[in-house]
Structure formats: structure tokens, C-alpha cells
């Protein structure tokens, strides 16, 4: 057992981070941009143009915000609180989409389609904003407390989700 300062929370943090990943990526299966969203857009009355916007919105939202936030993340003394707030921006839009679909999906499909495209962009922006602090925090933690076994479990979990998605 390692008695280094701060080591007591490493196992708990790893378990919570793994559970977050399991639930987030597990839920992502139901909004897959390759299979589910195109069918959903077509069911809402969208056309090929709306479907073609998905990769554009996701890539723009995922990569551009990282460029603008990375220098700010480097100046932060505490990165975890910042990361947790940004993670909400990545996750909450899907809750909004679910509620809009539940209450307006049948009666107002054009509104639902508009919200869907906005949610894809907003969630991708949230993901793009999360990348720099997440990797900074992960690298710092991993260098301070190297644990090959824990990272192996994380990679195995990601591989298992890939197999589930293929199935």
C-alpha cells in the first residue's frame, strides 16, 4: 500500500471515473451518430442535408473549442472543478433532447429536429472543452501514481464497449 500524500483517493477516483465512463459511453450507444441519429432525423422529416450536418457539427464542436481553451487550462491551479463543470455541458444537452423528444417529438417534429442538431453541436463543444483539462488531469495523476493495472482495466472497458457497439 502506498502512503504518498493524496494516494488514498486514487482508487476511489478511478472507480468513479470508470463508472462515469461506463454510463456515458453506454448511454452514447443510444445516440450513435452513425446509426441512430440518421434514422431519428429521417423519422422527424429531415433530409440528407440534415443528416450530413451531423459529422460537421460534431467535428467542429469537438475540435475547435479545444484550441481556445487549452491555454486557459494551463493557468488553472485546480483543474478538476473546472473539468466537472464542463462535463455537464457535454452531458446535459442529451437530457434536453430526450425531454424535447418526449414532449414535442410527435406534435412538433421540426422543433425536435432543430433541437437535435443544436444538441449535437452543444454536446460536441462540451466534449471539445473537456479534452484539455481531462488529459492534463489524467496525465498528472498517472505520472504521480502510476498504476498499469488500473489503466489496463480502463482500456479493457473501452474495448468491451466497442464490442458491444459492434454487436
Q: Give me the pLDDT at residue 44, please.
A: 93
Report whether pLDDT(56) > 80.
yes
Tens of pLDDT, residue by residue over 9-46, are 777 777 887 888 788 878 888 888 888 899 999 999 99
Q: Give me the pLDDT at residue 99, please.
A: 93
Higher pLDDT pick, 52 / 166: 52
Q: Give me the pLDDT at residue 41, please.
A: 93
**DSSP sequence for the chain:** ----TTGGGHHHHHHHHHHHHHHHHHHHGGG-TTTHHHHHHHHTT--HHHHHHHHHHHHHHHHHHHHHHHHHHHH-S--HHHHHHHHHHHHHHHHHHHHHHHHHTTT-HHHHHHHHHHHHHHHHHHHHHHHHHHHHHHHHHHHHS--HHHHHHHHHHHHHHHHHHH-
**Cβ atoms of 40 and 54 closer than 8 Å:** no
Q: Give me the pLDDT at residue 117, please.
A: 95
Tens of pLDDT, residue by residue over 94-148, are 889 999 999 998 999 999 999 999 999 999 999 889 888 888 877 776 555 445 5
CA distance 44 to 105: 8
Q: Give me the pLDDT at residue 27, please.
A: 80
Q: Give me the pLDDT at residue 65, please.
A: 87
Amino acid at each position: 500500500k502506498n502512503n504518498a500524500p493524496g494516494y488514498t483517493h486514487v482508487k476511489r477516483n478511478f472507480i468513479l471515473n470508470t463508472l462515469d465512463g461506463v454510463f456515458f459511453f453506454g448511454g452514447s450507444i443510444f445516440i450513435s451518430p452513425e446509426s441512430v441519429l440518421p434514422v431519428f432525423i429521417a423519422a422527424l422529416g429531415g433530409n440528407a442535408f440534415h443528416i450530413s450536418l451531423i459529422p460537421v457539427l460534431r467535428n467542429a464542436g469537438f475540435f475547435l473549442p479545444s484550441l481556445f481553451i487549452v491555454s486557459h487550462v494551463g493557468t488553472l491551479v485546480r483543474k478538476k472543478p473546472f473539468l466537472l463543470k464542463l462535463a455537464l455541458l457535454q452531458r446535459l444537452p442529451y437530457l434536453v433532447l430526450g425531454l424535447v423528444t418526449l414532449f414535442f417529438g410527435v406534435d412538433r417534429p421540426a422543433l425536435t429536429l432543430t433541437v437535435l442538431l443544436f444538441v449535437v453541436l452543444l454536446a460536441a463543444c462540451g466534449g471539445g472543452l473537456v479534452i484539455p483539462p481531462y488529459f492534463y488531469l489524467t496525465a498528472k495523476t498517472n505520472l504521480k501514481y502510476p498504476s498499469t493495472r488500473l489503466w489496463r482495466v480502463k482500456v479493457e472497458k473501452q474495448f468491451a464497449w466497442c464490442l458491444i457497439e459492434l454487436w
